[in-house]
Amino acid sequence: MSTHEHHSITLSDYNPNVNFIDDKAIWQTIEDASDPSREQVLAILDKARQCEGLSISETALLLQNQDKTLDEMLFSVAREIKNTIYGNRIVMFAPLYVSNHCANSCSYCGFNADNHELKRKTLKQDEIRQEVAILEEMGHKRILAVYGEHPRNNVQAIVESIQTMYSVKQGKGGEIRRINVNCAPMSVEDFKQLKTAAIGTYQCFQETYHQDTYSQVHLKGKKTDFLYRLYAMHRAMEAGIDDVGIGALFGLYDHRFELLAMLTHVQQLEKDCGVGPHTISFPRIEPAHGSAISEKPPYEVDDDCFKRIVAITRLAVPYTGLIMSTRESAALRKELLELGVSQISAGSRTAPGGYQDSKQNQHDAEQFSLGDHREMDEIIYELVTDSDAIPSFCTGCYRKGRTGDHFMGLAKQQFIGKFCQPNALITFKEYLNDYASEKTREAGNALIERELAKMSPSRARNVRGCLQKTDAGERDIYL
């Protein structure tokens, strides 16, 4: 397959004026699932082991299960699925907040237009370059570029900022190889323009799928339009962006409703666009300056409940990447990783210019406060030594055109091991050689040896060859 080969998606007709989230039907499903028997739950867990996903009503039964002793089994099935499909890789990325200018008023977000305390900033191109250079010096290869919704963050500005990010080459192998984007939804025409910047995933969260709640927390600006946001991914796919990422902001409404509605969104995309989302994100509301609601979210999700949400999602959509942000503490991230999370951010800052400013300890432009402030190298060290996980900086699939429906096809055939495991080791080796501390390098190299020992002799030989080339100074090798 050639680089950047594309697999166009054929969309069936869809009506963007119809809310495919049927509140009543979802609540009925939740009610019908109340108090499931032990046998019912065990049967679903057994089915989930086949890695073929779960229906909405099966998922509801797991959500409604009250028998704590079955939770351990749920977690163990989630771990099993994570291992079968993803192995012990964990993809690393860093967010880059380009602009906190925002014309909307989302009551949970520190960037809301009514927050006059916030220092507003939109990075200029040379400031973007500085931020990217710092991220490259940490060893990052993947960025999630984040923008408030504001006329100054129009598609032209976003495209220009992304081009700048890709252009920064810092040091020997320092370069950003994949940029995912989290910005306001656009028209099909604008999405087409966004695609020209060679973005990876387009990410946009519905926040809450419950339309009444949505109206209560989105007080002004374009984001008040629930349906325009609900169909954002349809439009993105129509424009040819075939990796999209969805999510709900947990804490705004009942988590059971949100999860089932999010799965309904997945099914709708599969039906209308032929492929579901590439990733699902799980932000939980964090306290943010200038947002009263964020201090005490109406439907706060505690850690135990959050673990169940992640595990149940792993069972329901085994092939969709699950993203965890810096928003979670180190201890919880470790657990969630085992339960099915496949991508995490590390060393993150959530203010425009935050990487530069953190050297000076300025935190007054942040969107929300973070649970994990440790530096990248420490996080990598912990992943390797505590979780036996391989931090992966791989961007191979997207650059080889393994995206959208094609990627899902590969995943479903469990081919991820064929490409991803070797690529993870090769990119991790790059990280170890170029950026790691002595102790991380030692622990990382030992992990690579353990992984090679698990591979078939021919694959191990192939990977070893790539690792030797990496040691000899070659960079950006991928299968």
The residue (of 286 and 372) whose beta carbon lies closer to ligand SAM is 286
Residue 250 touches which member of ligand SF4, ligand SAM, none, C-beta under 5-8 Å by kind = none
Range in contact with ligand SAM (rule: CB under 6 A) among 68-76, 117-125, 182-190, 432-440:
182-190
Per-residue binder mask for ligand SF4 (CB under 6 A), 85-124, x = binder: -----------------x-x-x--x-xx------------
Per-residue binder mask for ligand SF4 (CB under 6 A), 185-224, x = binder: --------------------------------------x-
Residue 112 touches which member of ligand SAM, ligand SF4, none, C-beta under 5-8 Å by kind = ligand SF4
Determine, following the binding rule CB under 6 A, whether residue 146 of this chain makes contact with ligand SAM. yes
Range in contact with ligand SAM (rule: CB under 6 A) among 158-166, 177-185, 337-345, 441-449:
177-185
Q: Smallest distance, Å, CB 363 to ligand SAM?
A: 15
Residue 266 to residue 285: CA distance in whole angstroms:
22
Range in contact with ligand SAM (rule: CB under 6 A) among 65-73, 178-186, 265-273, 470-478:
178-186
The residue (of 170 and 211) whose beta carbon lies closer to ligand SAM is 211
Q: Smallest distance, Å, CB 104 to ligand SF4?
A: 4
For ligand SAM, the binding residues in 285-344 under the rule CB under 6 A are 285-286, 288, 291, 294, 327
**Interface residue list for ligand SF4 (CB under 6 A):** 102, 104, 106, 109, 111-112, 148-149, 223
